[in-house]
């Protein structure tokens, strides 16, 4: 995927402080995109994988272009602020990667009201708000690509601590599929991407994860596509090049 060139493109990546979000932000920046990344705080993260400030220091050190925007993406005002800053800085928004997510790691019977509300806010409300606000920008441009980071928990992995999380990801999959058909004639591709078990903070203590860098290649390919070539798909990272992507029968 080193030959994919995002020069002139502007990408917004949520949850860019660490893990999959950092890999995606760096991958886009290395290929020429101007990257706007979000997280709740600039210089602090509750996990151990790094901060938003560190991600953008890495982008700058690699010669990339980016803008770190700390704040909330679970309320409309915060989302409008993020997208306005992206548009003011770079003039357009071509790619939206809804990567931010949370997993309380408890069963439904143990889940508090606050945990449930936070789960819905981060995993569903934030993507909804960002999509609602970015679509008019992409429509005006006549093109765009939206990638929602989902999970196999939405269709399998029936563990007790996956019930609430899986419900949000199943809903995100359905949102992605329906939106793809709604927005296809506007030149906007929408897909859901399932990363599998990667070594991130979210998976710590659950299962041994594969290197998080495995996320990069399939995401770069997906966000380079148009509705004419790839939209309305719910795809698994580990099947890249087999059931989808370059060389796959359905690609």
Q: What is the dihedral of CA 6, 143, 232, 165, to 10 degrees?
A: 70
Of the ranges 104-108, 126-130, 154-158, 190-194, which one carries the lowest mean pLDDT score?
154-158
Residue 205 predicted with pLDDT over 70: no
Position 47 pLDDT exceeds 80:
no
Instruction: Tell me the C-alpha distance between 22 and 102, whole Å.
Output: 16
Specify the CATH number for 10-239; select among 3.40.640.10, 3.40.710.10, 3.40.50.720, 3.30.930.10.
3.40.50.720
Question: DSSP string covering 195-246, please?
Answer: --SBSSGGGTTTSPPBPGGGHHHHHHHHTT--TTTS-S-EEEGGGBTTTBST
Residue 40 DSSP SS3: coil
pLDDT above 70 for 48: no
CB 116 within 8 A of CB 106: no
Structure tokens at 156: 């399998």
Question: Could you tell me if 193 and 219 are in contact, meaning their C-beta atoms sit under 8 angstroms apart?
Answer: yes
Q: Report the chain's terminal Cα–Cα distance, integer Å.
A: 15
pLDDT for 116 beyond 90:
yes
40 or 207, greater pLDDT: 40
Note the pTM of the prediction, 2 decimals: 0.93
The pLDDT of residue 198 is 76
Provide the pLDDT for residue 250. Answer: 66
Query: pLDDT tens digits, residue range 134-191?
Result: 999 999 999 999 999 999 777 766 676 788 999 999 999 999 999 999 999 999 999 9
Residues catalogued as catalytic: 165
- Kindly list the domain boundaries of the chain, sorted by start residue: 10-239
Output the pLDDT for position 199.
62
pLDDT band per the 50, 70, 90 thresholds, residue 210: confident
Mean pLDDT of the chain: 92
């Amino acid at each position: 995927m080193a030959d994919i060139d995002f020069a002139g493109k502007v990408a917004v990546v949520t949850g860019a402080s660490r893990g999959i979000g950092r890999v995606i932000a760096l991958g886009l920046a290395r290929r020429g995109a101007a990257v706007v990344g979000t997280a709740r705080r600039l210089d602090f993260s509750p996990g151990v994988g790094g901060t938003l400030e560190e991600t953008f220091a890495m982008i700058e050190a690699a010669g990339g272009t980016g803008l770190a925007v700390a704040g909330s993406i679970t309320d409309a005002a915060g989302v409008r602020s993020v997208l306005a800053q992206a548009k003011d800085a770079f003039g357009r928004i071509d790619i939206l990667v809804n990567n931010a997510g949370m997993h309380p790691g408890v069963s439904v019977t143990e889940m508090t009201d606050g945990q449930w509300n936070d789960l819905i806010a981060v995993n569903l409300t934030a993507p909804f708000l960002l999509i609602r606000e970015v679509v008019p920008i992409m429509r005006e441009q006549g093109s765009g690509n939206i990638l929602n980071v989902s999970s196999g928990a939405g269709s399998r992995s029936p563990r007790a601590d996956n019930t609430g999380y899986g419900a949000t990801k199943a809903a995100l999959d359905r949102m992605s599929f329906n939106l793809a058909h709604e927005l296809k004639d506007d030149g906007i591709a929408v897909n859901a991407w399932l990363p599998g078990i990667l070594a991130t903070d979210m998976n710590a203590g659950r299962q041994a994860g594969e290197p998080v860098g495995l996320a990069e290649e399939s995401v770069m390919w997906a966000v380079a596509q148009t509705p004419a070539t790839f939209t309305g798909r719910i795809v698994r990272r580990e099947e890249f090049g087999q059931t989808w992507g370059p060389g796959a029968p359905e690609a």
